[in-house]
Structure 1
Amino acid sequence: MTPHAPTATYRLQLQPGLGFAAAAAAVPYLASLGVSHLHLSPVLEAVPGSTHGYDVVDCTRVRDELGGEDGLRALAAKAREHGLGLVVDIVPNHMAASVRHNRPLYEVLRDGPSSPYARWFDIDWEAQGGRVLLPVLGGPVGDELAALEVEGDVLRYYDHVFPLREGTRTLPLPRLLDAQWYRLAWWRLARTELNYRRFFTISDLIGVRMEDPEVFEETHATILRLLREGVVDGLRIDHPDGLADPGGYLQRLSDATGGRWTVVEKILEDDEHLPAAWPVAGTTGYDALRHLDGLFTDPAGADELLGLFRRFTGVTADRGGEWAATARRAAHRVVTHELAAEVDRLTREAAALSAERPELRDHAPWALRTALRELLVRVPVYRPYVAGGVDPETVLTASDAADAKAAFTVAEEARAVDTVRNLALGRLGDSPRHTAFRARFAQAASALRAKSVEDTAFYRYTPLLSALEVGGSPQRPAVTAEAFHAYCARVQRDWPYTSTVLSTHDTKRSADVRAGIAALSQCPAQWEALLALVTEQTARGGAASAPDPQLAWAAWQTVAGLGPADPERLQGALLKHAREAGLFTTWTEQDEAYESAVRDFVASGPCGPPGEEVLRFMADLAPHVRANVLGAALAHLTMPGVPDVYQGTEHSYRALVDPDNRTPARFEAAREPGTLSAEKEALTKTALHLRREHPEWFGGASTYEPLPAEGPAGQHCVAYARSGHVVVAVTRLSLRLAEAGGWQETRLALPPGDWTELLDPGRQFSGHTRVAELFRQSPVALLVRA
């Protein structure tokens, strides 16, 4: 068994409004749910006021705003009194580039490459004349000189504080600026001039060179000490794809922790597997989320919604009408614009490496840059790995190279594609410089995939919003029962202690919102009629029209899943949607007229009388949304793996993308008996207590056995047994089921013995049970052998 493996975890999103003391006060309630561990967001010192903690500034200290190390120890002690352990999130890939708060970075900027901390950060000292570009100014430096002020040994710019290089304090300001180890610059220059690796395209987060053993030891000393002293029991690793050597890092971490339970935030595509050589328990669970969501999505209805989406919006293929074209167009934009600095660094390194061999020389920089872009956009996974997972040889194929060469008009110049591909695949040498290029290419591919798919294409291709989650497959949103069972069997065999999730701090919509939207896949014709009605009502009633049909489509589906919401909340989510899509407004080039039109439309349409029509429509779908909510929850809590329950989701929990889903949690039992919230809480407690009391039924030595239902509605019942002691059954696509005449004589053959229904105490079943009777009170059933 994996050391300290949880039976279930409960995710707490810590922040100044929810620190260690508040978490400790909630421990009795959280223990009553049946989890074994609390899963804490990052606990090390972060930028003051941070609501997430991933912007770490000091790896040696527990965050004061949360209560410091004493507060963490008190939380751990309180948790242990109630039989709970702690799992914490750590961030090895990056730190906040907040100079005034990040002391190691401050010293690097003061002392330059000679600083003992210079090895910490992934800085290209050969670029920018040997200085670090800091894109912090609100305008060109000439326009900001009046705001720059020398005070003692520091340079101030509003809230920013920068160190001064020794001996430069008395220089005139222009000379002083030129004499530093850094270059203060207009924030817009980050896109093309930045010379440090960052997290995706966020210049406020600077990459850390975790491949250096000394950097690993210095940045992990506090977390490892807390593990040794029993304060912490397990780890979640944020964004390992960003590291130069993820496998090496994870091995070093496993050695240092003694193999403690550790999961990694690795995003897997449908046919991709976690590298088998990684010494971890599994992923953070987005692959499970994709299969759970897909199980409750109707494939035929999803196809119909795609056709309706195209008709309603009138979109072309590359602006959202076809997934592959949309994703490729988004990738081209991101690699050309947002990641221009990263591609330029790769271009310089490719040129230097090819110059070492006479047969590879004379590639023009533009040709290498073009080759890099064309190959990067064709990487179909976040990051390829040789040791299990996806082999690079099967990612950057000869066919990909041929397609990439189509961007060239001269065949001889297109040979740059072969050079870059061979460098990326490690075919031209294994020197440290070659290895570094391969790692940097993979790091850029990961950033490109995240920004172009998750943060762009997912906001353009929107036939079914519930399919647009990290690790999702919007072009194939549905998952068959057979595919779900096959996935569960593989997880039980290969990664029995992996984490599984339905909602996280990063999901664009909580599971309950997605459950409501997924119900639309069962009634696309009725949804089409409703859209025609609310569109006509919006126009007739004098409400502000949608600024574009794609935004309107997303707005109406959001209301369907979210339910009643105040305009400000929905406006914030839809403005983020529009900016991420980047079709009419962006984060950096905001179109005020367009965004004002979005606000007006949301207030008078989705949050006005037309929106009430959508709410009435969803009220009629309530039984089917209930089936989706409870079915996904029960499957999540009983399938192979370790379920992670996001704060508040034991009840009805409807939240949109961050920051909406990161508000401080409230811990209290559901107060209204008979509601879906109370029903979901009871289900959650029952399943979690069962896991905690009988871990052997669900752990590494347990079994998973699909149980097919027989009869006219057999495809609507998804059932399985765990270790011969537990049977789980859920209703799939309940609206389609009702339209087809219900369960009729469909039966489920239970394993031998008598079985007690835990969700409806007093009921027992055995043998070939009529499914209609099994689901008489609820669309789900949780049975244990009597």
Structure 2
Amino acid sequence: MTPERPDPVVPTATYRLQLQPEFPFGAAAAAVPYLATLGVSHVHLSPVLEAVPGSAHGYDVVDHARVRDELGGEEGLRALSRTAREHGLGLVVDIVPNHMAMAPRHNHALWEVLREGPKSPYARWFDIDWEAQGGQMLLPVLGHPLGTEIEHLEVDGEVLRYHDHVLPLREGTGELPLPQLLDAQWYRPVWWRLARTELNYRRFFSISELIGVRVEDPEVFEATHAKILQLLHEGVIEGLRVDHPDGLADPDGYLRRLHEATGGRWTVVEKILADGEHLPASWPVAGTTGYDALRHIDGLFTDAAGAGELLGRYRRFAVPQTDRGGDWAATVRRAAYGVLSHELATEVDRLTRVAGRLCTTSPDPALRDHAPWALRTALQELLVRLEVYRPYTSGDAAAVVTEEAAAEARLAFVVPEEAGAVDVVRGLVLGRHGDGPGHVEFRARFAQTASALRAKSVEDTAFYRYVPLLSATEVGGNPGNPAVSPADFHAYCARVQHDWPGTGTAVSTHDTKRSADVRAALAVLTECPERWADVLAEVSRDGDGVPDAQLAWAAWQTVFGLGPASGERVQGALLKHVREAGLYTSWTEQEPPYEAAVAQFVAAGPCGAPGERVAAFRNTLEPHIRANMLGTALVQLTMPGVPDLYQGTEAAYRALVDPDNRRPVRFPPEDPGAKDTVTRAALRLRGRRPEAFGAAATYAPLPAQGPTAAHCLAFVRSATVVTAVTRLSLRLTESGGWQDTRLPLPPGRWADVLAPGRAFEGHARVAELFERLPVALLERVGPDGPSGSSAGETRHAGTSSEA
């Protein structure tokens, strides 16, 4: 008899900790008593399996069968779990199914493949094209071409050494002269630059140090998930976050297999949904990790008209110098072409080869006689027109690779007959030309390449080239349309509550380019674009030393959003900014004179005396920054879904892109402030009233009434909890304040959770509701309050019957 599976535990809220050798399981355990006081139900851990020694993130897994020794090993994880349980908490763990570290000396499976080649039992683990490169796997590890590096290659017994790299030798080859020895291996060490065009293994995006894993193979799935599944079934951990499912050959099949193997445990996936895209309904998961929620929350506090005016100011200030970065769609398209011709050139080559093979062997004459260059062009033109990360087998690929995109792609061809390659490629993507192994391979590789392209061209390039409003350049965001109306926000929340009530929500993560509090400050600029332009004109009067106006605009916004901080942090973030943008320098083609000019400008300008003018301007807007910050926090904590708090964000948390946002934090924070008060109150309310927020809960908008009603965003959960926040508070102040705006409350008596002793009934005056804080959290109570004690003074602006 099969034992009954327990119902999955759905967290009420999670708290993300970034594990690393300097913050191991023991440190996490020491933080547990504090975390329990916050009101979260689960601690969310970054990857825990064995990784490259010294790794600060753990996504470079080398052994799926072991818990990472540097963090305290399996006993350390089990001890952390016991401590968490003693304090009423569970553990949720991040898993990395898509890739492993390309570190043979630490990765036993990869070591065996390099030693034994395609006959190794581990060869099926990795996505290697053994038909390419003469049957050798290319290893892009050499600092320069082989001719200049061969003197640094040394045979040492049964291994080949190159500086810190140690590679196994094929049996019986150790005595050969070095040139012949290299030719005899199952791998070929090459200059790292060849990875762009010659690589024959799948990797994570364009990172050659991370090799793709074939978890679509049942044996590989079993081997790479056995330890995690053991920890789940033994109750050490209770839920999973799945990193980057878009990189997998078959996300649908993987998630079904994972769901079955875990017994339906609570699982969320790091799925980046484009604007208007929905999570596939057939996926057996609780939802996403929350970037879709982030975009909707941020958009609430962004003024649509002001964002348009800010864009106009930006175009006049920054774009004339470069003629780039003034239009979002054009910026993305241009970036995508560049990524396909550089970082992902080898992936496009492999797709072209597969398509060519299918065409030349097809019995359909319509698929014959298409030149490789035509197929490659068709692939590129279709890929750059995808507006989502990838198609899925459970969805309609024609809705992703549309006929409209195909019509535009055909325009890249001069001869109409050659444009037929677009229809051939689209037909292969849509499965119209067959369903054999080659066709399945093509569709999978197209989807994998599409997701890598979207990530590299949008997240890692366009976000750094199109910068009118930095708070909008966030994963899952739409910088071309950054504002979200209250109506759209309410519609999104209603859909989430109905379809994915256990989904994750997030506003700050280890991957956000700016923390929620930095973005909250930047959003205020959409309420005063003309004043921001005046400040920039003042600090930019002396144009000497400005390397380019686009960078200057981004730099000034960076210091405005961040507030007081060390110049080192700002310098690091802006150096990353210009390298990611890739306009004048990049990670692989660094331009020292330009980077030196950037450093000098940042030190003398944003981090120098002119930066004090920006700081003074920021100080004048502090009440409105505070309103956005507290509003963002309260909305995330009480909207549908399971809120995930990133370490340190229960208090004011101003951080830039990694590694800045992965710095250690203090438990408890030094200066908790009002945000901590709001966070604790909301989390404890979720714990006290789980029925108001769970799968059976309800969500309904609560419209305010009066002359400034648009500035009050409110909703009610299960007729039990009311959330109300101030939006666009600077515009509100300029229009004369709340005046006689009122919030009609549902029937009953409502205690102010953030200010014990206050209660409301009927039509609450919004000015009174927000007299202490720009946000309010109300709980419906009986005559004697939620715990039988008096809730204190009741405020009336009407009667309960009026509601």
TM-score over 0.5 (shorter chain): yes
The one-letter amino acid of 1:545's match is G
Cα deviation digits, residues 563-582 of structure 1 (max 9, x gap): 12222211110010001111
User: In structure 1, the residue corresponding to 2:532 is in which secondary structure?
Assistant: helix
Cα distance in structure 2, aligned partners of 1:533 and 1:688: 44
CA contact (8 A) 2:252 2:393 kept: no
Provide closer, same or farther for how the CA distance between residues 669 and 579 of structure 1 changes in structure 2, counting only shifts above 3 A: closer
1:498 partner amino acid: T
Letter in 2 for 1:361: R
Match of 2:93 among 57, 63, 88: 88
Mapped pair 1:507 → 2:512? yes
Deviations 1:574-630 (A, max 9, x none): 010001111110110001000001111111111111001000000000000000000
Seen in structure 2, the aligned counterparts of structure 1 residues 318 and 493 have a Cα distance that, compared at 3 Å, is farther
TM-score, normalised to structure 1's length? Answer: 0.98
Q: 1:338 to 1:247 in 2, by over 3 A?
A: same
Conserved 8 A contact 2:699-2:715: yes
Shift of 1:785: 0.8
Question: For 1:481-540, what per-residue CA distance to the aligned partner results, in whole angstroms no more than 9, with x for missing partners?
Answer: 11111100000000000000000000000000000111111000100000000112x55x
Matched, 1:774 2:779: no
| Aligned counterpart, 1:222 | 227
CA distance in 2, matches of 1:567, 1:683: 31
Confirm whether residue 72 of structure 1 aligns to residue 77 of structure 2.
yes
Cα distance per residue 1:678-701 (max 9 Å; x no partner): 110111111001111211110000
**What residue is the counterpart of 2:376 in the other structure?**
369
Query: Deviation of residue 545 (structure 1)?
Result: 2.0
**1:140-193, CA deviations, whole angstroms, 9 ceiling, x for partnerless residues?**
011101110111100000000000000000000000011000010000000000
Matched AA of 1:564 = P
Match of 1:384 among 387, 391, 396: 391
| Structure 1 position 356 matched with structure 2 position 361 | yes
How far apart are the structure 2 equivalents of 1:40 and 1:604? 40
Mapped pair 1:308 → 2:308:
no
Deviation (angstroms), 1:195: 0.3
Q: 1:186 to 1:271 in 2, by over 3 A?
A: same
CA distance in 1, matches of 2:732, 2:322: 34
Structure 2 match to 1:712: 707
Say yes or no: does 1:166 pair with 2:171: yes
Aligned to 1:288: 293
Contact 1:731 1:779 in 2 (8 A): yes
Paired residue for 2:345? 340
Residues 318 and 326, structure 1, Cα contact 8 Å, conserved in 2: no
Q: How far, CA to CA, are the matches of 2:649 and 2:389 in structure 1?
A: 28
One-letter identity of the residue aligned with 1:125? W
Cα deviation for residue 416 of structure 1 reads 1.1
CA displacement 1:4-62 (0-9 Å, x = unmatched): 11000000011111100000000000010000000000000001111111000100000
Q: Conserved in 1, the CA contact under 8 Å of 2:317 and 2:549?
A: yes
User: Contact 1:285 / 1:501 at 8 angstroms: preserved in 2?
Assistant: yes
Q: Which amino acid aligns with 1:374?
A: E
State the SS of the aligned residue for 1:11: strand
How many residue pairs end up in the alignment?
774
Q: Cα distance, 1:314 vs. partner?
A: 2.8
Deviation at 1:303, TM superposition (A): 0.3
Paired residue secondary structure (2:748)? strand
The answer (yes or no) to whether the contact 1:234–1:260 under 8 Å persists in 2 is: yes
1:653 to partner: Cα distance: 0.4
Write the deviation string for residues 181-240 of structure 1: whole angstroms up to 9, x where unpaired: 001000000000000000000000000001100000000000000001110100000000
CA distance in 2, matches of 1:477, 1:618: 21
Deviation at 1:317, TM superposition (A): 9.2
- SS, match of residue 125 in structure 1: coil
8 A Cα contact 2:648 2:669, kept in partner: no
Q: CA deviation at 1:365?
A: 1.0
- Amino acid aligned to 1:506: D
Return the alpha-carbon distance in structure 2 between the equivalents of residues 429 and 530 of structure 1.
61
Shift in CA distance, 496/724, structure 1 to aligned 2, threshold 3 Å: same
Partners of 2:321 and 2:548 within 8 A in 1:
no
Task: Give the Å deviation of 1:316.
Answer: 7.9
Q: How does 1:389-404 map to 2 (within 5 A)?
A: 391-404=396-409
> Partner of 1:432 in structure 2?
437
Aligned partner of residue 203 in structure 1, secondary structure: strand
Q: Kindly state the Cα deviation for residue 387 of structure 1 after the two structures are TM-superposed.
A: 2.4
Match of 1:46 among 33, 44, 51: 51
The equivalent of 2:205 in structure 1 is: 200
AA aligned to 1:642 is V
Corresponding residue SS for 2:426: helix
Q: Distance in 2 between matches of 1:81 and 1:546?
A: 57
Cα pair 1:2 1:281 within 8 Å, conserved: no
Runs of at least 5 residues in structure 1 that lack an aligned partner in the other structure? 672-676
2:786 equivalent in structure 1: none
- Within 2, Cα distance between the matches of 1:411 and 1:488? 47
How far off its partner does 1:373 sit? 0.6
SS of residue in 1 equivalent to 2:373: helix
Q: In 2 relative to 1, CA 366–532 (structure 1 residues): closer, same or farther, beyond 3 Å?
A: same
Deviations along 1:92-134, one digit per CA (max 9) or x if unpaired, are 0000011111110000000000000000000001000011000
Deviation digits for residues 62-109 of structure 1 (CA, Å, limit 9, x no counterpart): 001101001000000000000000000000000001111111000000
Stretches (4+) displaced over 3 A: 315-318
Q: Is the contact between residue 317 and residue 326 of structure 1 (CA under 8 Å) also seen in structure 2?
A: no
* CA apart distance, 1:415: 1.1
Q: Percent identity?
A: 71
**Are 2:733 and 1:728 aligned?**
no
Q: Which SS does the other structure have where 2:274 is aligned?
A: coil
Instruction: Find 1:519's aligned residue among 521, 524, 532.
Output: 524
Cα distance in structure 2, aligned partners of 1:455 and 1:785: 46
Question: Partner of 2:411 in structure 1?
Answer: 406
Residue 674 of structure 1 corresponds to which residue in structure 2? none
Instruction: Give a deviation string over 1:406-425, Cα, whole Å, max 9, x none.
Output: 11111221111111110011
Q: Given residue 343 of structure 2, which amino acid in structure 1 is its aligned partner?
A: E
Hey, what does 1:667 align to over in structure 2?
Answer: 667
2:797 aligned residue = none
SS at match of 2:757: coil
Q: Deviations over 1:284-323 (max 9, x none)?
A: 0000000000000000110001000000013489720001
Aligned match of 1:690: 685
Residue 636 of structure 1 is matched in structure 2 by 636
Whether the 8 Å CA contact 1:318–1:329 is kept in 2: the answer is: no
Q: In 2, distance between residues paired with 1:667 and 1:384? A: 42
The Cα shift of 1:395 comes to 2.0
**What is the CA–CA distance in structure 2 between the aligned matches of 1:315 and 1:724, rounded to whole Å?**
54
Instruction: Report if the CA contact (8 A) 2:216-2:253 is conserved.
Output: yes
Separation in structure 2 between the aligned mates of residue 94 and residue 765 of structure 1, nearest angstrom:
54
Q: What is the CA–CA distance in structure 1 between the aligned matches of 2:358 and 2:590, rounded to whole Å?
A: 40
Counterparts of 1:318 and 1:210, CA distance in 2: 44
SS of 1:77 mapped into structure 2? helix
* Distance in 2 between residues matched to 1:192 and 1:2, nearest whole Å: 49
2: CA distance, partners of 1:54 / 1:406 = 41
How far apart in 1 are the matches of 2:105 and 2:770? Answer: 60
Corresponding residue SS for 1:61: strand
Aligned equivalent of 2:784: none
Any stretches of 5+ residues in structure 2 without a counterpart?
Answer: 1-5, 782-803
Of the structure 1 ranges 357-366 and 131-140, higher mean CA displacement relative to structure 2 is found in 357-366
Say whether the 8 Å CA contact 1:318–1:325 is kept in structure 2: no
| Cross-structure match for 1:237 | 242
Question: For residue 759 of structure 1, what is the aligned residue in structure 2?
Answer: 754
Task: Judge conservation of contact 1:670–1:681 (CA < 8 Å) in 2.
Answer: no
- The CA distance in 1 between the partners of 2:293 and 2:436, in whole Å, is 39
Secondary structure of residue in 2 paired with 1:752: coil
CA shift in 2, pair 1:462/1:669, >3 Å: closer
